[in-house]
């Protein structure tokens, strides 16, 4: 991790705080007031797309923005509910389960509906059936790796009790564990495809083939926060939408930002690979839509898998008015 994006880095427990108040755009207006604190899963090869907002887009909306990185979105949800952050990027799965228990959480929009993950295995694994008796690295309950792995096994009539699940943290941790032979398989982003062969691993199945309607990342806040800071929430979403539009149309700049944030070397193919994959598959939605049909499908997946006892009223989860106001401010303006 570097300080190349004109930010101040400091350790805060398990998170890294990036103070992003300095704008790099000459047209940016000064941002005042209490910072909006947003949490993301630790930066990796898609960081340039997710964090282009640090290039002055928040300041253009008159918003101070702090971004904190967490090992998993489960930690982000806990930080949100504890009042340590105002919003976070995360999976729908854990949030829907939280909402089913009466927890105050609101969906703002889904900016990365495409799922770039896959089941990666050591070269000794030839088929899904070979996973019986093996160790699969996942993350926290209801996370992408957890749901994807369990759904794959169920589709192949493999009892979850026939494998061993190991919680190995983030993508980097699970990738290292797989390469070292600590585990036999894992679910990670397909950004590792360019480096898989030379590390003795390969992608066995694409997650898109396992859960085709699965949504990767959405943004969440709480009802209390949205009531207290409605204007800031609108500004935040408008900044994110503008940044995503810009990132998707400026490949080289997005990849450069990724390298600055992650310290990736110039010969590392992963930033370019994940960017091109996102564009090719329309994996990123700069308008941050709220696809209720896919959300309902994911909820049904959780019910069938036993992670959710009963469906919840999804309309109570969604804060569509915040997104509508942010879109109205931006209009069709390209960036």
Pairwise CA distance, residues 266 & 272, whole Å: 10
Contacts of 248 (CB under 8 A, 6+ apart): 49, 254, 278, 279, 284, 286
Pairwise CA distance, residues 53 & 96, whole Å: 27
CA angle 263, 71, 109 (to 5 degrees): 95
Tens digit of each residue's pLDDT (9 = 90 or more) over 200-249: 999 999 999 999 999 999 999 999 999 999 999 999 999 999 999 999 99
Pairwise CA distance, residues 93 & 200, whole Å: 31
Q: Which domains does the chain have, with CATH numbers?
A: 8-114+215-330 (3.40.190.10), 117-210 (3.40.190.10)
Tens digit of each residue's pLDDT (9 = 90 or more) over 266-313: 999 999 999 999 999 999 999 999 999 999 999 998 898 888 888 889
pLDDT in tens, the chain (335 residues): 333 232 322 223 323 233 333 333 333 344 558 999 999 988 888 887 888 888 899 999 999 999 999 888 889 999 999 999 999 999 998 899 999 999 999 999 999 999 999 999 999 999 999 999 999 999 988 888 999 999 999 999 999 999 999 999 889 999 999 999 999 999 999 999 999 999 999 999 999 999 999 999 999 999 999 999 999 999 999 999 999 999 999 999 999 999 998 899 999 999 999 999 999 999 999 999 999 999 999 999 889 888 888 888 998 999 999 999 999 999 887 76
Percent of the chain with pLDDT over 70: 90
Q: Which helix (H) or strand (E) holds 288?
A: none
Q: What is the pTM of this model?
A: 0.83
């Amino acid at each position: 991790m570097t300080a190349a994006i004109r930010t101040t880095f400091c350790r805060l427990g398990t998170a890294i705080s990036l103070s992003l108040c300095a704008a790099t755009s000459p047209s940016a207006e000064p941002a005042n007031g209490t910072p909006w604190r947003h949490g993301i899963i630790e930066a990796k090869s898609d960081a340039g797309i997710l964090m282009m907002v640090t290039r002055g887009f928040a300041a253009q909306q008159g918003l101070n923005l702090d971004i904190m990185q967490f090992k998993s979105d489960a930690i982000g949800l806990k930080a949100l509910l504890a009042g340590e952050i105002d919003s976070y990027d995360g999976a729908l799965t854990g949030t829907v389960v939280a909402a089913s228990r009466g927890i105050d959480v609101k969906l703002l929009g889904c900016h990365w509906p495409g799922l770039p993950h896959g089941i990666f295995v050591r070269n000794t694994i030839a088929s899904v059936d070979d996973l019986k008796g093996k160790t699969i690295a996942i993350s926290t309950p209801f996370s992408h790796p957890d749901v994807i792995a369990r759904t794959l096994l169920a589709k192949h009539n493999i009892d979850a009790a026939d494998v061993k699940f190991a919680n190995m943290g983030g993508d980097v941790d699970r990738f290292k564990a797989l390469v070292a032979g600590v585990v036999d398989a894992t679910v990670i982003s397909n950004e590792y495809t360019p480096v898989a062969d030379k590390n003795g691993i390969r992608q066995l199945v694409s997650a898109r083939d396992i859960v085709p309607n699965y949504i990767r990342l959405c943004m969440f806040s709480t009802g209390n926060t949205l009531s207290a800071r409605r204007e800031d929430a609108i500004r935040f979403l408008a900044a994110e939408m503008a940044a995503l539009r810009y990132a998707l149309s400026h490949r080289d700049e997005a990849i450069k930002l990724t390298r600055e944030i992650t310290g990736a070397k110039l010969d590392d193919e992963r930033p370019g690979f994940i960017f091109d994959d996102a564009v090719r598959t329309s994996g990123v939605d700069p308008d941050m839509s709220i696809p209720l049909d896919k959300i309902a499908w994911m909820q049904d997946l959780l019910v069938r898998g036993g992670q959710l006892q009963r469906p919840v009223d999804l309309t109570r989860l969604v804060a569509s008015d915040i997104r509508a106001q942010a879109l109205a401010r931006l209009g069709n303006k390209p960036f």
